[in-house]
Every structure is written in structure tokens, then in C-alpha cells.
Amino acid sequence: MNSSLPSLRDVFANDFRIGAAVNPVTIEMQKQLLIDHVNSITAENHMKFEHLQPEEGKFTFQEADRIVDFACSHRMAVRGHTLVWHNQTPDWVFQDGQGHFVSRDVLLERMKCHISTVVRRYKGKIYCWDVINEAVADEGDELLRPSKWRQIIGDDFMEQAFLYAYEADPDALLFYNDYNECFPEKREKIFALVKSLRDKGIPIHGIGMQAHWSLTRPSLDEIRAAIERYASLGVVLHITELDVSMFEFHDRRTDLAVPTNEMIEQQAERYGQIFALFKEYRDVIQSVTFWGIADDHTWLDNFPVQGRKNWPLLFDEQHKPKPAFWRAVSV
């Protein structure tokens, strides 16, 4: 590591873990950055259902094992992501041999088999799991989004998933994880969902605030309000997928090959403000994970605008620290 460059992990050692999402390519391509700066990693995609059990009973752990082995060899914690989600789940999970939906009991058994097999395999190596990902409806009066899990099992599919995960590893911290978590309408739905689960005695220990944010949204006041609202439930908070897009979600511009100086400065100011806020709440925020580590690999390239580059992280495409890095470590 450049001896003049502070380590993110060390700068925030007394505040919270610093993490990054990785995949089998980036643990090689970005290896030194990860070793130098993080003490927690999350598999970007390779612990999702479609990767771990693409066919019934055929578990494919090779890539997930590589990621866990990388973490263990560099004394990094691992966040498990994710056990039950409406996306990236193979069709076979919900269907019988004729392509019809299976019964509630069959789907519960498949859910239990998957969760038990995966969580037990990594017991002692993965300290927390995003058990349920993105189950809350984005807008409207409905609390929960439609999904095949919900359609076949019913609204208690989440309760069952948490119970199965707890049974498989009673020592793991179990999380509900979601995006747009700071906007008031969805914030209140997430709050209501987690409160209802905890009121029923379901073992849910934390809320994952994804934190896919932009240069202006959500506001700092909205972030603060969400942190305080969720913390009032007595749960642990993890920032699970942090990045700061150079574009608002509805901005469709495609004319930039590099970010403007104004964007770079805005992003730096934004990261400084965000990390100052996180430090203020370090008693409840135990972990801050970026969704990536450098701008050469980000899911925001081509999303939501095909063919567009984005620059949402603290390190640039050459793995050099950006102004945002310096602002974050100086709070």
C-alpha cells in the first residue's frame, strides 16, 4: 500500500467495519485495494440462490468458497448475501415437473433445504446473513411487493426464512435488507415489517440499509431520520451496499466519458457528509459496506442507462483515491 495513503479500515477502526462487495474476478483484479482497505466482504452475486443451487439438489459452492477463503486468509469478516429474494432465484424452485406452481409445503421444504445447507456450510465463517432481501413494496398501500415466495407460501414466508436461518446457525446475526430505505414512505413500511417480526419473536437482529444513493438524494435529514427510526427498534444497523451515483435515477444523459469537475467535488462533499453522519451513529451502525471498491467495476455501469459509465466509489478506474476518499477519511 502507498505508505502515505490511510487505510479506510484503520481510519474507522473505532467506529465500524469497512466492507466491499466482491466477485471471483474482483478479488484478483482489486486484490490489493481490498487487502489494504477493508475488513469485511460481501459476495456481490455468488451467494444468491441461482448461483448456489441452479438445479434442485445441485449445490455449486466453488465460487462462494473462493470468496470466503479469500476473506479468511486476509482476516476479513463475511456478510452473507442473500438467502431469499424475488430476483435471481431459479424457476425450478417454484415449479413442479409440469411447470405448475408447487404447494406451500413443497416450497417451504425447498426454502428450508436451501437455507439450512448454505448457512450450515459457512457456520463460523459468515457472521451475518441478509435473510430476506427487498420484500417491501416501493409505493402504494401494500406493505409487501408481489413475489412467488409470497404468492405460494403467504405473507409468513419471511418468518419461516428467519426461523430456518436461526436454526441452521443460532450465532449468526440475521438481517432484513432493502433499498430506498431512507425515503419516508418506504422507511415506514420497513419499520412496520421489522417491528411486526420482532413483536412475534422472530429472530431478526438487524436492518441492512443498502444506501444506493446519489449526489443529492436522499437528503441528510432523511438519512438521519431513517437511522434513528430503525435504531428505535433495538436492532443493529449495517450500511450494506453503499455507492454514490453521479446521476439521479431518472437522469438519462449519456454524453459523459468522464465525470465533470463539479460532479467530482459534489461527490466528495457528499461522502464527507455521509461518513460524518455514520460516525455520529457508530453506536448503532456496526458495518459500512461499499457495493464495490473502485470505479473499474460497478453495477451502475449500464444501469439504469445502457451504455453509460458511472463513477460511484472512492477509488477511480486506476485504483487511485478520488477526492471523495480524502473527504471521507478526514471526517
Question: What is the per-residue pLDDT for 3?
Answer: 61
The pLDDT tens digits of the residues spanning 122-180 come to 999 999 999 999 999 999 999 999 999 999 999 999 999 999 999 999 999 999 999 99
Q: Rounded CA gap, 254 and 87, in Å?
A: 27
The residue-averaged pLDDT of 64-75 equals 98
Name the average pLDDT for the chain: 96
The single residue of 241, 248, 265, 269 carrying the catalytic annotation is 241
* 55 in catalytic set: no
* 50 in catalytic set: no
CA angle 69, 296, 122 (to 5 degrees): 20
Question: What's the half-sphere exposure (Cβ side, CA atoms, 13 Å) at 16?
Answer: 23
The three cell numbers of residue 257 are 466519458
The residue-averaged pLDDT of 193-199 equals 98
Which residues, including other chains, have CB under 8 Å from residue 71's CB and lie 6 or more apart? 41, 77, 78, 125
Residue extents of the structural domains in the chain: 8-329
The pLDDT tens digits of the residues spanning 223-259 come to 999 999 999 999 999 999 999 999 988 888 888 888 9
Homologous superfamily (CATH) for 8-329: Glycosidases (3.20.20.80)
In 10 A of CB 290, how many CB atoms? 26
How does residue 73 score in pLDDT terms, banded at 50, 70 and 90? very high
CA angle 132, 208, 302 (to 5 degrees): 85
The single residue of 44, 134, 159, 181 carrying the catalytic annotation is 134
Q: Give the pTM.
A: 0.96
How does residue 2 score in pLDDT terms, banded at 50, 70 and 90? low
The residue-averaged pLDDT of 75-90 equals 97
